[in-house]
Structure 1
Amino acid sequence: MQEKHLERMRNDKGFIAALDQSGGSTPKALAAYGVSENEYTTEVEMFDLVHKMRTRIISAPAFDSEHILGAILFEQTMDREIDGKYTGEYLSEEKGIVPFLKVDKGLAELSNGVQKMKPIDDLSETLDRANERGMFGTKMRSVIQEANKDGIKEVVDQQFEVAKQIINAGLVPIIEPEVDIHSTDKEKSEEILKQEIIKHLDLLKENELVMLKLTIPSVGNLYKELIDHPQVVRVVALSGGYSRDEANGKLKSNDGLIASFSRALSENLSVSQTDEEFNAALKEAVESIYDASVNKNS
């Protein structure tokens, strides 16, 4: 199954859906969906509601393998079921969509212009469960606020250090050093980031494969060298706070870069919609993001 997933991720057309909001971002995701914080009182109730939302998205007809290559899940989503199957198994077996798991525990405090990942103390156990639940890969996020060379190097060093553990567990890591779209020196940060990533990619062995999830760059095709690197399965882009139209427009200026959108995917979905209205809104989002991922300007 892993080889089949790898072949799909390398070569097929489409994008990755990011459905991995965790504890801190879940209330915002629910609010955007039309579920206010006064509709739940405990964390358990909150996660029940968000799983219901994700189940509705994943099981909708518009959420299909023709347009969507993979989906990134939160840990609790991985451990829950859809129609009697663990979510990853449902995605893989019923939808033909490759499942990934978010493994980071959130961001550390800002230092040297960046936010590294908090320690992932239970990584080994989580990776064992990810394998049991049929995950193909993982995802972990850091954030770069400023073009600080030392800070960016620390972020990339940490990402690849953890990535090695994930590779050794038989999974493909998505490395996500996000550059904040509001950074005043975003373009400079992206150039530094690219060079740091290349240094690490060049040290990987032939069987050590990674994916990259990056902010859509200010300079079109800046990451072409990363996209073409033999150790990179795919480079995907986060929407980073851009609206879907903005993100799609910027994505089209980058050959080979595909979407991995979260908010931009679900921005027009609502709990109050009928199933027909919900699927129509999701279909519009899916098709527009797919189009931006496969149809480029050049």
Structure 2
Amino acid sequence: MANAKHTDQIRAGKGFIAALDQSGGSSPKALKLYGVDETEYNGDAEMFDMIHAMRARIIKSPVFTGEKVVGAILFEQTMDRDIDGIATAQFLWEKKGVVPFLKIDKGLEEEANGVQLMKPMPDLDALLARAEKLGVFGTKERSVINAANEAGIKAVVAQQFAIGEQVIAGGLMPMLEPEVTISITDKAEAETILRAELLKHLDALDASKQVMIKLSLPSVANFYKPLIDHPRVLKVVSLSGGYSRDEACALLAKNDGMIASFSRALITGLSAKQSDAEFDAVLGETVEAIFEASIAGETVAA
């Protein structure tokens, strides 16, 4: 079952969760952001080698530690690879004090009712068993909401909780991610429907179970506070969702008890061409900014 030390570290939340989980579809974009052009590799095998080298460089950096980075989400191939001869998840926890998570979804279905559900995951139980054996604490599964369509959002939340139950049964902590697209005109309305549906499912969840939830930054500050305070929720984290790092950090700081789980906003400014000193300086500045935004909303009970 889920590691108690991992649970305590995530619950305390003094820091953020790094999203290092770009998959096959988003890897070329991530590499381009990292200064590696598509002409510099041939085929998926070389692309994934370069992605792993980028992630390993981030993880091994002296500024990437559990002091400010409480967790990291891995892509399946990253979990299955090593860093300095040690399995990645094991390296994260034992060498860096960072709790490992695994992205488990296989991408998105075509849009229907204003949403994109997750594609089927027929091999999920086997993947969860492998992840648990490798020391992974939790999972992350993403679907997308593109409109304030009640039927669509209900379907998204129902699917997220169904997969969440499967993850819990597999001994891991599910991080549900029903992402609301930040550019839609009815974002606030979509968030209202989403919050109501999430609360309904949380209230129905067995008292022995908990989930984590990853959400787009809300249109109204502290809109998700009822989720953050819910006894069935270990932690609510936010994605950057297309905002720049500075925008995402400014918005996050207004939301009490919510911490970051940024992907693109984390690697922006890093380059394969940088010296280690330059790389660590840029990453250190980014880690500090996201850390400060994540703890800005931490409230202390009187």
Partner of 1:168: 169
Q: In the alignment, residue 9 of structure 1 is paired with which amino acid?
A: I
| Offset of residue 102 of structure 1 | 0.1
Q: Partner amino acid for 2:77?
A: Q
User: Which blocks of at least 5 consecutive residues in structure 1 are unaligned?
Assistant: none
CA RMSD of superposed structures (Å): 1.0
Query: What is the TM-score normalised by the length of structure 1?
Result: 0.99
CA distance in 2, matches of 1:50, 1:207: 38
Over the matched positions of the two proteins, sequence identity in percent amounts to: 59
Query: Match for residue 22 of structure 2?
Result: 21
Residues 105, 141 of structure 2: 8 Å contact kept: yes
Residue 55 of structure 1 pairs with residue 56 of structure 2:
yes
Query: Would you say the 8 A contact 2:104–2:139 is kept in 1?
Result: yes
Q: Distance in 1 between matches of 2:171 and 2:205?
A: 15
Kept in 1: contact 2:191–2:218 (CA 8 A):
yes
Between the aligned partners of 1:297 and 1:252, the Cα distance in structure 2 is 9
Q: Which residue of 2 aligns with 1:184?
A: 185
Q: How does 1:107-118 map to 2 (within 5 A)?
A: 107-118=108-119
The equivalent residue for 2:99 is 98
Contact 1:253–1:297, Cα closer than 8 Å, also in 2: no
Letter in 2 for 1:206: A
SS at 1:261's partner residue?
coil
Q: Partner residue of 2:10?
A: 9
* Superimposed CA distance per residue, residues 255-287 of structure 1 (whole angstroms, 9 cap, x where no aligned partner): 001000001011010011000000000000000
Residue aligned with 1:202, SS:
helix
2:282 is matched with 281
* Aligned counterparts, 1:75-94, within 5 A: 75-94=76-95
SS state of the match for residue 99, structure 1?
strand
Shift of 1:296: 3.5
User: Residues 138-287 of structure 1 correspond to what in structure 2 (within 5 A)?
Assistant: 138-287=139-288
Match of 1:43? 44
Number of aligned residue pairs: 298
SS in 1 for 2:128: helix
Whole-Å separation in 2 of the counterparts to 1:267 and 1:175: 25
CA drift at 1:12? 3.8
Q: Which runs of 4+ in 1 moved over 6 A?
A: none
Q: Is the 8 A contact 2:258 2:297 kept in 1?
A: no
> Is the 8 Å Cα contact of residues 259 and 295 (structure 2) preserved in structure 1?
yes
**Structure 2: gaps (5+ residues):** none
1:135 — aligned with what? 136
**Alpha carbons 2:15, 2:67 under 8 Å: kept:** yes
How many angstroms apart in 1 are the aligned matches of 2:297 and 2:191?
Answer: 21
What one-letter code is carried by the residue in structure 2 that aligns with 1:276? A
